[in-house]
Amino acid sequence: MQTHLNHFKLLFEWFGRILAILGIAFVVTKLSQYSAQIHITQLQPLHFSIILGLSLMYACANSLLAMAWLQVLAHFNLVAPTQWAIKTYGVSQLSKYIPGNIFHIASRQVIGQLSQLPAKALIQSSIYELLLLALCGGVYAILTLHRFVVMDSLASFLLFTVLSINAFLIVRFTFSLALAKATCLYWLFLGCSGLIFLMLFHVFAAPTWSLTLTLLVLGGYILAWLAGLVTPGAPAGIGVREAVLWLILQGTVQQSDLLTIVVIGRIITSMGDVLFFATCALMKSTQWRHLP
C-alpha span between 41 and 38 (Å, rounded): 8
Q: Would you say 227 and 246 are in contact if contact means Cβ atoms under 8 Å apart?
A: no
C-alpha to C-alpha distance for 47 and 53, rounded to whole angstroms: 10
Q: How many angstroms separate the CA atoms of 104 and 1, rounded?
A: 28
Who's near 80: CB < 8 A, 6+ residues apart? 70, 73, 117, 288, 289
Rounded-to-integer distance, Cα 238 and Cα 236, Å = 5
Per-10-residue mean pLDDT of the chain, 292 residues long, equals: 54 51 53 49 77 94 96 92 90 77 82 86 94 96 88 91 96 96 98 95 80 93 89 68 86 81 86 89 67 40
Query: In the prediction, which pLDDT does 290 show?
Result: 46
What DSSP element (H or E) covers 151?
Answer: none
Q: What is the reported pLDDT for 130?
A: 94
Distance set, CA 128 to CA 42, 201, 245, 268 (Å): 44, 32, 26, 27
**Type of residue numbered 109:** Q
